[in-house]
Structure 1
Amino acid sequence: MNTITRLVVYAIISLAFATTQGQTKELDSIRKADVDYKISNLEEEKMKIEEQEKSILKLKISKINKRLDDKEITAEEAENLKKEAAKVAALNIENRTEIVESKIALLKRNGYDSYQYRRDDNERVSISIGSGGFHIDVSGDDKPKRKPKFDRRTFGENVSAIGFNNTLIDGVDLDDSPYKLGGSGFVEWGYTLNTRIFKNTNFWRLKYGFSFQWNKLNIKDNQYFVNNDGDITLQEFPLEINKAKFRTTNLVIPVHLEFGPSKKIEKENYFRYSRHRQLKIGIGGYAGVNLGSMQKLKYKEDGNRVKNKQRGGYEVNNFVYGLSGYIGIGEVALYVKYDLNPLFKNQAIDQNNISIGIRFDTL
């Protein structure tokens, strides 16, 4: 190795260590933010413990009451079982809270310092010079995977809903609907993005995304749908029907203006808005397309069970649009949606789909 080469190598090594010191300081900052982020998650977990245990206790008591109603146990035995269940719930809350608090205390006491000590002992600087160029890597066993973003104005949520479904028909009361009120239902599943509208408050949010909607009508009075040259009517089935169901599948883009209070959680390197157990109200609508329709009939013919499925051919509107809204606390809300478009197109009497149920927005 000649003198010029040695000088170049020494210069590269000096630059490497200078750069490594800068990277080390940045990693220390990232690690501290990572510890703060973990502590914040543990604080939220601690808040949910009592609610979870109370839900479990409520379920246990419900089962005990059912056993009492069925006369499997006496009133005295039921009371003792309830006391035991309440005692277990109280101990679970106490123990689980202590565990989370211990984790928080451990992170606060050792989180950053332990990163620093492990870095001094375990981290190694790798320097390579080759065809790929000059590369420096600071590695260690406890290198954090990611740095919490200082401010997240947009985040994603899974959306699911389930409930009752029916139609509003011109001149017909809902009580006189040709569809069973209890047997007709809907299911919705989708994904939304939740964006904070204003910089310094989370009171107003915009929610938008996509959803699949399955709307089912359970037809009563031994009737079924018939297409007579584009005229969709309910007619008496020639045999006795066990079940007659009509289902539509839609893909829609929902948009809601959501508003409600939030709790601001501030840390040294980031902040978040928490809507845990906070009131929320959403008002908006949706638009999309119909993906298909199907009528399903179950009946007996000559002593044999018959299942008849007919897909398409019912003049269902291809374009779907409507209004929707919800009100709730935290992840759960009462949900209503109403199709402004008639279920069937070009009919003498319009009927519009309406759904009422429970909606879940989860991270």
Structure 2
Amino acid sequence: MLRIISYITYVILLFIAQNLCAQAAQEKDSSEIRTRERVLKAIDEEKERVVREEKSRLKKEVEFIRELETKGEITKEEAQNRKEEKARRTALNIENKLAVLENKRALVERGEEKGWEYLRGATLGIGIGSNYDGNGSRLIGIQFENVRKDKKYDRRTYSNIVVALGFNNALIEGESLNDSPYKTGGSRFFELGWQWKTRILKNSNAVRVSYGLSFQSNGLKPESNQYFEKEGEITRLKTYPYDLKKSKFRQDNLVVPVFFEFGPSKRTDYDDYFRYSTRKKINVGIGGYAGINLTSRQKLKYTSEGRTSREKIKDDYNTNNFVYGLAAYAGIGGSSLYLKYDLNPVFKSPNIKQNNISLGLRFEL
């Protein structure tokens, strides 16, 4: 009896499996047909986009030529020749690009190629097996399709990471930097942020404005076995009762920097877009920053009775809650010399006025 039940169960499972496989095959064929229709429609839209963008680019180039003619930089005859040359080039671009798209469409219709690269949206599918081609892949039963993103003809804004580091000190009212009570080499600063950089002029990249959000950390290391002690509204340096191996005061700030950047750049024209590059070009930035003080803390490491101890003290130390200052940089490409100066004093009144000043290197990554 048990054997008969087993056979019946086996037959039922086999029947279910066959139905599932047949259904899966039908769904696969239907999915491929829908995807092919999407691709063909996307190729037709791409043909329209090519014509539209080529004509738009020609219009802008003709306007630029007219501006040159109006300013007297070129003659009327030269302007006409340039317009005709641009028109011939545009016509050839449209003809060649449409021919490529027509050939691609024919391959997709015959099932020789998938053409996923023309789809504007991402597609995720679940499947059995694995395969790879130039347009997408199926890995461990999951299929990914590429996403096509059109390049913007004129991209005026870019973004990147900014890292800066170097030496920090303080300018104290009534004293020179040579008389500073802080270690020159031991006092440092660090900055990490994200910036956007936008071209200001329409037909030139000579002037840019950059803006973003940055984390700043300014450190001061007192000399002569000293540390900061808060006594009411007053924060002053005092001699520590034990032998200090390390004394460091640190402020962490969150600021919004804004710079006007000047410098040459190289323009490169492509088929359907152009770009400016400042790689290996001199650039100078002038601006400032403003923000808030996040934390103020002091780290002490000292020796007492032959034992080494460490302390981390977090307090406001009468520091200013708002920070603001001036900054400038000059360099080549993404590397530059960086100088910044806090206009706000480190400590609130009635403390002696002292302002952070930093010099180091700045990198745009």
| TM-score interval (norm. to shorter) | 0.5 to 0.7
Work out whether residues 200 and 208 of structure 2, in 8 Å CA contact, stay in contact via their aligned partners in 1: yes
Work out whether residues 122 and 141 of structure 1, in 8 Å CA contact, stay in contact via their aligned partners in 2: no
> Highest CA radius of gyration, 1 or 2?
2
Unaligned runs of 5+ in 1: 1-15, 32-110, 126-136
Q: Which residue of 2 aligns with 1:217?
A: 220
Q: Which residue of 2 aligns with 1:315?
A: 318
Q: Deviations over 1:216-235 (max 9, x none)?
A: 11111001111122111111
CA distance in 1 between partners of 2:148 and 2:36 (Å): 23
Q: Deviations over 1:212-264 (max 9, x none)?
A: 00001111100111112211111111111111100000000000001111100
Which residue, out of 342, 345, 355, partners 2:358? 355
CA distance in 2 between partners of 1:21 and 1:124 (Å): 8
Q: For residue 141 of structure 1, report the CA deviation from its aligned partner.
A: 5.2
Work out whether residues 227 and 313 of structure 1, in 8 Å CA contact, stay in contact via their aligned partners in 2: no
* SS of aligned partner of 1:349: coil
CA distance in 2 between partners of 1:352 and 1:279 (Å): 30
Q: Does 1:123 align with 2:114?
A: yes
Partner letter of residue 321 of structure 2? N
Trace 1:13-28 onto structure 2 (pairs within 5 A).
23-27=42-46
Q: Which residue of 2 aligns with 1:170?
A: 173
CA distance in 2 between partners of 1:187 and 1:141 (Å): 44
Q: TM-score, normalised by structure 2?
A: 0.65
* SS of aligned partner of 2:178: helix
CA distance in 2 between partners of 1:269 and 1:124 (Å): 21
CA distance in 1 between partners of 2:162 and 2:285 (Å): 13
- State percent identity of aligned pairs: 45
* SS of aligned partner of 1:276: coil
Q: For residue 145 of structure 1, report the CA deviation from its aligned partner.
A: 2.6
Q: Deviations over 1:76-106 (max 9, x none)?
A: xxxxxxxxxxxxxxxxxxxxxxxxxxxxxxx
Partner letter of residue 305 of structure 1? T
CA distance in 2 between partners of 1:19 and 1:249 (Å): 53
* SS of aligned partner of 1:255: strand
Q: For residue 28 of structure 1, report the CA deviation from its aligned partner.
A: 6.3
Q: Which residue of 2 aligns with 1:259?
A: 262
Q: Give the root-mean-square deviation of aligned CA atoms.
A: 2.9
Q: Which residue of 2 aligns with 1:154?
A: 157
Unaligned runs of 5+ in 2: 1-34, 51-99, 117-122, 124-132, 136-145
Which residue, out of 186, 190, 209, partners 2:189? 186
Partner letter of residue 358 of structure 1? L
Q: TM-score, normalised by structure 1?
A: 0.65
Q: Does 1:229 align with 2:232?
A: yes
- Distance of aligned partners of 1:281 and 1:115 in 2 relative to their CA distance in 1, 3 Å threshold: farther
What is the number of residues matched between the two proteins? 256
CA distance in 2 between partners of 1:326 and 1:28 (Å): 46
CA distance in 2 between partners of 1:276 and 1:124 (Å): 35
Q: For residue 303 of structure 1, report the CA deviation from its aligned partner.
A: 1.8
- Distance of aligned partners of 1:149 and 1:233 in 2 relative to their CA distance in 1, 3 Å threshold: same
- Distance of aligned partners of 1:273 and 1:114 in 2 relative to their CA distance in 1, 3 Å threshold: farther
- Distance of aligned partners of 1:285 and 1:114 in 2 relative to their CA distance in 1, 3 Å threshold: farther
Q: Which residue of 2 aligns with 1:305?
A: 308
Work out whether residues 220 and 248 of structure 2, in 8 Å CA contact, stay in contact via their aligned partners in 1: yes
Partner letter of residue 229 of structure 2? V
